Amino acid sequence: MKSSRSVRRIAAVHDLSGVGRVSLTVVIPILSTMGFDVCPLPTAILSNHTQYENFTFLDLTDEMPAIIDHWEKLGVDFEAIYTGYLGSPRQIRIVADFIERFRTPDTLVVVDPMLGDNGRLYNKITDEMVSEMRTLAARADVLTPNLTELFALLNEPFRSECTGDELKAAITELTNSGPDTVIITGVPVQGKPNLTSVIARSRTDGRTWKVTCPYLPAHYPGTGDAFTSVITGSLLQGDSLPIALDRAAQFILQGIRATFGYQTDNREGILLERVLQNLSLPIQSATYELV
């Protein structure tokens, strides 16, 4: 049964970094701006994110089940459960159990399977974690891997270049394993290095969508968290999948453009504060295409 609350509630399972706009410091302001009550289930607390040379780290794995148990005693429910980086096989199993305990027929489960990028798994991502993530991914309604994570979840060698048909076949295979909707981020546009794209397929809908946008030569941590946060909020607001893709891609581009002209430390992430208000505006022009 759907909640009668005036503000819908999202459980956000991410880490918390004191410095650097990533994870919860991105997820909470974006989804709050979009009108949702964000309830964090923190996996760890860091002084700053891990792309800095040094950082402090407090592992909250042992605390997570206690928080979940207490939420259950309080009778808390969620319209969505949204997970990001998980640091161990045990954390992935805890989150899978959390989803099973709190999920209802109306709950949207969004999994960002943060395993790697640029053809490589992240440091400390083990084969066991990849295997556990496949199990968690199968529980998702919406899955948002990048190209590296797509092939890791399929247990296939990474391919930096794929034809459109090959990519559609890979996405279809992944949706058939459990998640209804798979959104692939950071897909190169062949022959056009100044462009990048996002491709998504819904098994229920049966169609594949693509959004293409300019590629700017700068790396900002947290853009993936921001992208999936906008996707989550947009779908909960009732947007179609292609409109959600457009909103998320345009928001990230706005954030990068708002930041690119400044001589800031890229590790701090995009200047989120400059573009948050754009989330309240209607989409100006849709660029999605059916592929």
260 assigned to some structural domain: yes
Structure confidence at residue 217 (pLDDT):
84
214 assigned to some structural domain: yes
CA distances from residue 183 to 167, 228, 231, 256 in whole angstroms, order as listed:
11, 9, 10, 20
3 assigned to some structural domain: no
Residue by residue, DSSP assigns 129-150 as: HHHHHHHHHTT-SEE--BHHHH
Q: In CATH, what number is assigned to the domain containing residue 283? A: 3.40.1190.20
What ranges make up the beta strands (E) of the chain? 9-13, 16-19, 37-40, 44-48, 57-59, 80-83, 108-111, 116-117, 120-121, 142-143, 181-188, 195-202, 208-214, 289-290
Q: pTM of the prediction? A: 0.96
4 assigned to some structural domain: no
2 assigned to some structural domain: no
124 assigned to some structural domain: yes
157 assigned to some structural domain: yes
Structure confidence at residue 162 (pLDDT):
87
For residue 266, what are the domain limits? Answer: 9-290
Structure confidence at residue 160 (pLDDT):
85
Provide the domain count of the chain.
Answer: 1
Give the separation between CA 30 and CA 234, rounded to whole angstroms. Answer: 11
Per residue of the chain (291 residues), what is the pLDDT tens digit?
445 578 999 999 999 999 999 999 999 999 999 999 999 999 999 999 999 999 999 999 999 999 999 999 999 999 999 999 999 999 999 999 999 999 999 999 999 999 999 999 998 899 999 999 999 999 999 999 999 999 999 999 999 888 889 999 999 999 999 999 999 999 999 889 899 999 999 999 999 999 999 988 889 999 999 999 999 999 999 999 999 999 999 999 999 999 998 989 999 999 999 999 999 988 877 899 999
Structure confidence at residue 1 (pLDDT):
41
200 assigned to some structural domain: yes
- Say whether 282 sits in a helix, a strand or coil: coil
Beta bridge partners of 109: 81
**What tens digit of pLDDT does each residue of 225-254 get?**
999 999 999 999 999 999 999 999 999 999
